[in-house]
Amino acid sequence: MAQLFFQTGRDFVAWSSGAARYITGHNSGSGKLVVAVNCRLGNLEATDIALCDTGAEWSVIGGDTAGLLEEYFGPPTGSLSMLTRHGTYEGKLRNLDVHLLADPDMGTDVRVASTVLVIQEWPGPTVLGYRGFLERLRFALDPGVAPDQEIIYFGTVG
């Protein structure tokens, strides 16, 4: 199990609780997923590859994926007009639990009680953005010394 630790004097305190491989440069059709992570949306049995994007204001879920998650979403807000990299779209903010999944023998998953923007016509990939998701998550990217060694470390704050 590989985790990151703070060092304070001679003491070490765990900085992360889980870690996993991440994917770089996957072409999802609507653009390249520069950093993509394996996650579980709601309590779906299957997992999803999502773009991890600190530059995105909100996490975004759209199209078919949103339809599968209806039972796991919280109540929606009124419609919002949001400017995205694919243009301006109407969407609604909703609460959703999203799990970042740790690889076997690399600590434990984290569950984020998050908020996502649901856009039915969204042409892009599932996005894990800053507001409502990354803003309270501790994470670090280790690109590794060779391809396919990329690791994302994650944990709770404090």
Q: Which residues bind another protein (CB under 8 A)?
A: 17-18, 20-23, 26-31, 38, 40, 45-49, 57, 63-65, 67-68, 74-78, 80-82, 93-95, 99, 101-115, 125, 131-133, 135-138, 148, 155-157
Q: Give the list of residues 6+ apart from residue 47 with CB closer than 8 angstroms, or none.
A: 38, 39, 40, 101
Measured from the CB atom, the residue of 10 and 148 that comes closer to another protein is 148
Nearest CA-CA partner of 153 in 59, 144, 12: 144
User: How far is residue 50 CA from its own chain's centroid?
Assistant: 6
146 token code pair: 């060779």
Q: Provide, rounded to whole angstroms, the least separation between the CB of residue 102 and another protein.
A: 4
Q: Provide, rounded to whole angstroms, the least separation between the CB of residue 99 and another protein.
A: 7
Measured from the CB atom, the residue of 9 and 147 that comes closer to another protein is 147
Q: Provide, rounded to whole angstroms, the least separation between the CB of residue 54 and another protein.
A: 14
How many C-beta atoms surround the C-beta of residue 157 within 10 A?
Answer: 7
